[in-house]
Amino acid sequence: MSSVTDFLLNRASEPRLEAPGPDASTLDRAFACASRAPDHGLLRPWRYLVIEGEGLNALGDLLAAGYTDMRGKTDEAKLEIIRGKAKRAPMVIVGIASPKEHQKIPEIEQILSAGAGMSFLGLALEDAGFGVMWRTGELVYNPVVLEGLGLEEGESIIGLLYTGSVSSAKPAVPRPELAEFVARWPA
């Protein structure tokens, strides 16, 4: 039996994903894990959109519309590449930070909570045997995309979590030495 630490030390983002994606009971369990993220004040400052099937085509069209909004007139070949980004996996889960107005809990804490929930979601899906890849990029911040996905004022996308079955594992990524990012204070 492996430990949580062993699991974390061996996890990796997987960009090569194919069907099948997670089923409903696996998703429910993964979202239950996401809901265990640290959440000062129990504000639940997050929500998720699950996109699969024909929804991926709609997401691709929305990304293309956002790209056109940012770049102006664009050739159709480039727009097809943009549309294809939505189909990198059989399922895309949109993580949304949805901060609540609160006198004692700043927005940054709530956004960090949403990010932790997204991380827990990805870890739970990996533990269930699926690959995940957390992606962002300029299009997830575009107003056309935000509006098309139904985000409300004050909400933001924290990432697109692509998930499915790993078609071929990527090579191991070198990790930094601990001394590069850990220090003792005071020195």
pTM, two decimal places: 0.94
| Residue from 36, 32, 35 nearest 24 by CA | 32
Cα gap 17→31, rounded to integer Å = 20
| Angle of CA points 44, 162, 46, to nearest 5° | 10
What pLDDT is recorded for position 162? 98
Ordered structural domains, the chain, with CATH: 13-167 (3.40.109.10)
What pLDDT is recorded for position 49? 98
Cα–chain center distance at 139: 13
Cα gap 183→187, rounded to integer Å = 8
Residue 187: Cβ within 10 Å count: 4
User: What amino acid occupies position 54?
Assistant: E
Q: What is the CA radius of gyration of the chain?
A: 18
What pLDDT is recorded for position 114? 98
| Angle of CA points 87, 89, 95, to nearest 5° | 95
Residue indicated by tokens 């004050």: 154
What pLDDT is recorded for position 56? 98
What pLDDT is recorded for position 1? 53
DSSP, res 162: E
Residue 120: Cβ within 10 Å count: 19
Cα gap 8→21, rounded to integer Å = 21
Residue indicated by tokens 């709609």: 58
Whether the CA torsion 22, 28, 32, 35 is positive or negative: it is positive
Mean pLDDT by 10 residues, the chain (187 residues): 84 95 98 97 97 98 95 90 97 98 96 98 97 97 98 97 94 91 93
What pLDDT is recorded for position 2? 67
